[in-house]
Copies of this chain bind each other. A is one copy, B any other.
Amino acid sequence: MSFNVAILGASGYTGAELVRLIATHPALRIAALSADRKAGQAMGDVFPHLRHLALPPLCTIDAIDFAGIDLVFCALPHGLSQALVRDLPRQVKVVDLGADFRLRDAAAYEKWYGAPHVAMALQAEAVYGLTEFYRDAIAGARLVAGTGCNAATVQFALRPLIAAGVIDLDNIICDLKNGLSGAGRSLKENMLFAERSEDVAGYSQGGKHRHLAEFDQEFSALAGRKVEIVFTPHLVPVNRGILASCYVKGDAQAIHETLLSRYADEPFIVVLPFGQLPAMSHVQGSNFCHIGVVADRISGRALVVSTLDNLNKGSSGQALQNANLMLGLDETTGLMLAPVFP
Binding site for B on A (CB under 8 A): 13, 16, 19-20, 23-24, 47-53, 171, 173, 175, 177, 180-181, 183, 185, 187-189, 191-203, 205-208, 212, 228, 230, 232, 234, 236-241, 243, 245, 247, 270, 275, 277-286, 288, 290, 294-298, 301, 303, 305, 336-342
Residue in contact with A270 in the complex, picked from B52, B181, B230, CB distance below 8 Å: B52
A200: contacting residue among B23, B196, B241, CB under 8 A: B241
Number of copies: 4
Please judge, given known A-B contacts A177-B236, A191-B193, A282-B51, whether A24 and B199 are in contact too, CB under 8 Å.
Answer: no
Given contacts A177-B234, A200-B241, contact A303 B206 (CB under 8 A): yes
Q: A53-B338, A197-B197, A205-B277 are in contact. Are A247 and B270 (CB under 8 A)?
A: no
Contact of A185 among B194, B236, B239, B240 (CB under 8 A): B194
Report Cα–Cα, A194/B337, bound state, in Å. 21
In the complex, residue of chain B having the shortest beta-carbon distance to the beta carbon of A275? B206
Set of chain B residues within 8 Å of A195, measured between Cβ atoms: 185, 193, 281, 342
Taken together as a complex, chains A and B put the C-alpha atoms of A110 and B197 apart, in Å, by: 36
A202 to B192, CA, bound (A): 19
**CB contact under 8 A between A181 and B16, given known A201-B278, A288-B52:** no
CB distance from A2 to the nearest CB of B (A): 17
> A342, B197: Cβ atoms under 8 Å?
yes
Q: In the complex, which of the residues B24, B228, B239, B281 contacts A342, with contact meaning CB atoms closer than 8 Å?
A: B239
Q: Closest B-chain residue to A228, C-beta based?
A: B298
Distance to closest chain B CB from A51 (angstroms)? 6
Could you say which residues of chain B place their CB within 8 Å of the CB of A281? 49, 195, 198-199, 201
**Once the chains bind, are B239 and A194 in contact (CB under 8 Å)?**
yes
With CB as the reference atom, state the residue of chain B lying closest to A277: B202
A51 touches B270 (CB 8 A): yes
Question: Does B200 lie within 8 Å of A181, measured CB to CB?
Answer: no
Q: Known contacts being A177-B236, A281-B49, is A198 close to B196, with CB within 8 Å?
A: no
Is the CB–CB distance between A245 and B175 below 8 Å?
Answer: yes
Q: Is the CB of A201 within 8 A of B340?
A: no
Among A52, A228, A240, residue most surrounded by chain B Cβ atoms (within 10 Å) = A52
Q: Complex Cα distance A228/B296, Å? A: 11
Q: How far is the CB of A10 from chain B (nearest CB, A)?
A: 14
Residue of A194, A236, A240, A284 ringed by the most chain B CB atoms within 10 A: A194
| Bound CA span A201–B188, Å | 22
Most buried by B among A171, A188, A337: A337
Give every chain B residue within 8 A of A53 (Cβ-Cβ). 338
Cβ A187 vs Cβ B187 within 8 A: yes
Is the pair A207, B296 in contact by a Cβ cutoff of 8 Å? yes
Question: Which 5 A-B pairs rank lowest in CB-CB distance, beginning with the nearest?
Answer: A207-B297, A201-B279, A199-B281, A194-B342, A49-B339
